[in-house]
Structure formats: structure tokens, C-alpha cells
Amino acid sequence: MEGSFIFSLFFLFLILGAANSQAADSCNSPLSLQSPLPFDTTTLQCVPVWSSQSFILRYQQASPNVWNFVLSAPNKNAYIGIGFSPNGKMVGSSAIVAWVEPDGTYEMKRYFLGAQSPDQVIVNQGNLQVENSSMVLQTNQIYVAFQLIVNTPENRLIYSVGREGRLPSAPNFVLSQHLDQISTLLNYATGQFQKENPDGGLKRSHGILNMLGWGILMPIGAMVARYMRQWDPIWFYSHSIIQSFGFIFGVAGVICGLVLEDRLQANVNKHKGLGIFILALGCLQVIAFLARPDKESKVRKYWNWYHFSVGRILIFLAAVNVFYGIHLGNAGAGWNAGYAVVLVILFIVGVILELRIWMRK
């Protein structure tokens, strides 16, 4: 009896797995839709352009100035989009965005992405001349078909998927911030494509420099000043050198961030404002170091209070802004976990050293 039950479950899983494999679109099988598309799809070239989101692009040059496209993706109650970009960036591209309304009706709109803010993403604008467009929803898969009137389409294509439940609505059809996006370079002749990230190196430099400078070296330098006082003057020179490198890396990271904001036209005012405030605190610390009074001076006590307080505020805000920057950059859980591990280690070391000070007292 028990063996029969297990066999039945196994057989059920096989059936469900087969059903799911049939429901998902694939380049391994010909395109077969219950509703006809406005052009022949039997000879379209098929490319799995975005595996993590199951985006598949089919295309073909139908005549010297007509190109057929079919984009398919799972219906996740969110919009899907394909953009044609002159430089691989989202800003400045023209896009076709499609979604399925809760009542089952289809919507497809053209957009011009003038900037990253929603009010600069303009509906029914752009340089795409679209003809014979249609949509099909089959086995919870969206198929977006359209013809472009152009000699050669842009080969830098951007794909995006919106957030669940955040669909554009009449009358303005404002496009909300996407959940995820990818930029690719497609060779129309061969079907070969590669992922592009034009500002990926600059984004990584911005994150690493700020994390290392403000978020790691600054706390280490502060710990050296507090827990290595018995080794005078080694503690002082170590503290000065570590904080100097932290400040230099931090300044370089802020400069990278300003350049990155200008290139991406990103709306990151909170992150930027917090970063500039942290930079200002760092500059104040440098000025305070250069203008520090003698140890015998009556104002040295107040200088110490100021120096300690500003430094602790800087370190706290830097950690907050590093995590916020990881969130804005969609860097992933690995970056969050890695930086969190570093902070936990520094915290544990600080607690141990603090206990040693209390025990001596």
C-alpha cells in the first residue's frame, strides 16, 4: 500500500513537471500559438536573451526595411519591455512595453526613456516606427509581436520587467521603476549576443571605494585610536595613516558616484545627500586634525569630545549609506552579507577589547 502511494506521488510529479515544461517557452521547439500573429513566425531566429527571467526573443528581417520581432516572457502581473538603445544605456532608448490587465485585456505602448524619473519616461514617443503589432497570452506566457520599419535596428537591446502589480494605467500610462533589467549586444546575422554593462566597472569602483574607505578603514582607525593607546606613538601614526587612506578612498568613491549619477541620470538624491554629508564630516575631521591643540591646552578636552563625536557619527552614517547604496545598485545579497560579516567581526573585536579595558580598570 505504501509503495503504491509513493509510486502515485512520483507519477504525479512527472506529470506536473511535463506540464510545466510544455507551458514554458523554449527555442528548442517551434512557436505554436492558438491565436495567429500578424506575420509568419515559422522562420524566426530564436535567442534566449535573459535566462533568469525566461525572456526569449524571436526576430527576422522580412524585407529590406521591415523586421519582425516576437518577445516572450512569463506573465507575472507585471509589465515586460524591450528597448532599442544607441549606446547600451536605458536613458535615451526607445522601448516597447506590454502587460496584461487583471481583466485579461492586453496593453502595448511605446515609450521614450528621457531619464530615469517616471515623469521623463514619455508614452507614445520615441523613434520606433511600429506596425502590425499584437499580443497573445497562452499558458501564462506573454507573446509580444511587432514589426519595425527600419533598415537595421539598434543592436544594443535592453530588457526589463516591472514590479508585480505595478501596471501602467490610463490616462497617462506612467511607467513605474522596473524590478530588474539587462542590457545586451545582439548580432542579428548570427544570433549571438552578450550581456553589456557600460557603467558596471564605475559602479563597482564607487561601491568598493566607499565601502573600504568610509565603511571599513574608518572604523578600524577609530578602534586603533581607542584600544592601542598604550603603544605611544605607534597608535597615533597608525591611526593617522589608516584614516588618511580611508579618507582618500572615500573621496575617490564619492567622485565616482557623482560621475556615475551624471552618466545614468539616476534619481538617488537621498544616497547622494548622505554621501556628501559624510564627505563634509570627513573634511571636518581632517581640518580638526591639522588644527588640534596641544595636550596641555585647556581646550584639548573639548577638541577630543568634538573629534570623537564627529568620527562616530561619520562611521554610523557611512555604514547606513553603504547598505543603502547596495540596495539602490541591486548588487545582491552577497554584498549585503559580505559587508555585514565585516561589521560583525569589527563589533566582536571591539567588544572584546572594550571588556579588557573594563577589566583593567
Per-residue pLDDT of the chain (361 residues; tens, 9 = 90+): 444 444 444 334 433 444 444 456 788 888 888 888 889 888 999 999 998 899 999 999 999 999 999 999 999 999 999 999 998 888 889 999 999 999 889 999 999 998 877 788 999 999 999 998 999 999 889 999 999 999 999 999 999 999 999 999 988 899 888 888 888 999 999 988 888 666 677 888 999 999 999 999 999 999 999 999 888 899 999 999 999 999 999 999 999 999 888 777 667 889 999 999 999 999 999 999 888 888 888 888 899 999 999 999 999 999 999 999 998 887 778 899 999 999 999 999 999 999 988 888 7
Q: What is the pLDDT of residue 10?
A: 39
178 annotated among ligand-binding-site residues: no
Q: How far apart are CA 49 and CA 71, in angstroms?
A: 10
Q: What is the pLDDT of residue 265?
A: 64
The verdict on whether omega for the bond into residue 171 sits within 30 degrees of 0, i.e. cis, is yes
Apex 248 CA angle, 246 and 251, nearest 5 = 105
Strands (E), the chain: 45-50, 55-63, 66-74, 80-85, 94-100, 106-113, 121-123, 130-138, 141-149, 156-161, 180-186, 193-196
Q: Which residue has the cell 578612498?
A: 249
Residues 203, 206, 207, 212, CA torsion sign: positive
Closest CA to 70 of 36, 104, 21: 36
Residues 248, 250, 252, 254, CA torsion sign: negative
Cell of 155: 543592436
Q: How far apart are CA 133 and CA 107, in angstroms?
A: 11
239 annotated among ligand-binding-site residues: yes
Q: How far apart are CA 19 and CA 347, in angstroms?
A: 51
Q: How many CB atoms lie within 10 A of CB 331?
A: 16
CA 261 to chain centre: 13
Q: Residue 40 in 3-state DSSP?
A: coil
327 annotated among ligand-binding-site residues: no
Q: What is the pLDDT of residue 5?
A: 43
